[in-house]
């Protein structure tokens, strides 16, 4: 199956005419087709499968020019998840997972000390635990939603063990994905001891040369080696991302 996305018809602003879309087989008889516009504006999106237009094609979309979300301090009010949690400043903050604005997933849990909303919480009223099961290559991920893509330049994490200085991240990758299936490493950490104490926070710049101006919808923390206690539980009670956010409106 192939799909071609044609944009910029009838003088509209978005470029990318004739670009190949990214097609993902959902395994249930349906397919997801994604495409990243390079600029803001209005466009018609034509989707063809093996040369035949699908029903309802073309689709009319508007891409809002990027909102710059600049890092100031760890888990401040400038990050993308806080921005989503306040609907761009139009409402009081709500945890974006609990509000249904983003979707958090993980590799698996075997205990009661995990809750998806804790991974994207801006603040916690008290120390919490948030851990995956003890399996190699454990991960937690957030889907920003079908209408949002981010070109990241900075990110923060918060330790997810709230009682003692145990199970801290040491080896991991921050990864980005367009479709949630194919992942690219944006930042790799090997024996990084920046996080150690209960609920401790740390931040890192993301190299512009690695991102290359690309935008991603999905972000994942993948643990690539044992934690500080030699186990494979991924402990994380917070992530925040910064950069340029684009929103697509249909």
pLDDT recorded at residue 73? 97
Tell me, what's the pLDDT at 144? 97
Number of separate domains in the chain: 2
Instruction: Give the rounded distance of the alpha carbon of 81 from its chain centre.
Output: 9
Residues 33 and 79 in one domain: no
Are β-strands 236-249 and 52-53 bridged in parallel, bridged antiparallel, or unpaired?
unpaired
Q: Which of 57, 77, 100 is the last residue of a domain?
A: 57
Within 8 A by CB and 6+ apart from 130, the residues are 113, 114, 115, 118, 119, 160, 235, 236, 237
H-run or E-run covering 239? strand 236-249
Kindly state whether residues 122 and 199 are assigned to the same domain. Answer: yes
Residues 140 and 19 in one domain: no
**Residues in CB range of 56: below 8 A, 6 or more apart:** none
pLDDT reported for residue 131: 95
What does the longest C-alpha to C-alpha distance in the chain come to? Answer: 61
Provide the pLDDT for residue 43.
Answer: 66
Here the CATH number for the domain that contains residue 150 is 2.60.120.260
Sorted by sequence, the CB contacts under 8 Å of residue 239 that are 6+ apart come out as: 81, 119, 120, 140, 142, 155, 156, 157, 158, 219, 221
14 lies in the same domain as 121: no
pLDDT digits (tens, 9 = 90+) for 18-60: 555 667 777 787 776 666 666 666 666 777 777 788 877 777 7
Q: Are 153 and 194 contained in the same domain? A: yes
Do both 23 and 90 map to the same domain? no
Instruction: Quote the domain boundaries for residue 131.
Output: 65-249
97 & 27 share domain: no
| pTM score, whole prediction | 0.80
* Sign of the CA dihedral running 235, 240, 244, 248: positive
Do 158 and 207 lie in one domain? The reply is yes
Q: Do 165 and 182 lie in a common domain? A: yes
Same domain? For 37 and 125 the reply is: no
Going by C-alpha positions, the residue among 7, 39, 11, 8 that lies closest to residue 21 is 7
**CA-CA-CA-CA torsion sign (224, 142, 206, 170):** negative
Mind spelling out the 3-state secondary structure of 167-219? CCCCCEEEEEECCCCCCEEEEEECCCCCCCCCCCEEEEECCHHHHCCCCECEE
Which of residues 57, 73, 93 is at a domain's end? 57
Dihedral over Cα of 23, 210, 175, 77: its sign: negative
Q: In terms of Cα–Cα distance, which of 166, 89, 157, 95 is closest to 134?
A: 166
Non-local CB neighbours of 89 within 8 Å, separated by 6+ positions: 83
Same domain, 9 and 132: no
Low-confidence ranges of the chain (pLDDT < 70): 1-22, 32-44, 61-65, 249-250
Task: Let me know whether 77 and 119 are in one domain.
Answer: yes
pLDDT for the residue numbered 13: 44
């Amino acid at each position: 199956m192939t799909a071609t996305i044609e944009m910029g018809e009838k003088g509209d602003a978005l470029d990318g005419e004739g670009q190949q879309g990214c097609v993902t087989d959902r395994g249930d008889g349906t397919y997801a087709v994604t495409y990243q516009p390079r600029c803001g504006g209005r466009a018609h999106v034509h989707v063809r499968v093996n040369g035949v237009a699908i029903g309802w094609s073309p689709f009319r979309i508007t891409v809002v020019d990027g909102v710059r979300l600049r890092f100031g301090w760890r888990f401040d009010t400038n990050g993308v998840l806080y921005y989503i949690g306040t609907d761009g400043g139009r409402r009081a903050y709500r945890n974006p997972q609990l509000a249904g604005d983003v979707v958090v997933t993980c590799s698996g849990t075997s205990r009661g000390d995990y809750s998806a909303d804790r991974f994207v919480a801006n603040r916690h009223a008290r120390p919490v635990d948030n851990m995956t099961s003890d399996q190699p290559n454990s991960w937690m991920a957030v889907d920003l939603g079908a209408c949002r893509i981010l070109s990241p330049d900075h990110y923060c994490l918060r330790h997810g063990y709230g009682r003692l200085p145990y199970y801290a991240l040491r080896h991991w990758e921050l990864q980005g994905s367009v479709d949630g299936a194919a992942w690219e490493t944006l930042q790799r950490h090997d024996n990084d001891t920046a996080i150690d104490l209960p609920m401790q926070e740390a931040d890192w710049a993301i190299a512009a040369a690695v991102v290359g101006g690309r935008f991603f919808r999905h972000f994942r923390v993948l643990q690539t080696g044992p934690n500080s206690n030699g186990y494979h539980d991924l402990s994380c009670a917070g992530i925040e991302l910064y950069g340029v956010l684009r929103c697509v409106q249909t």
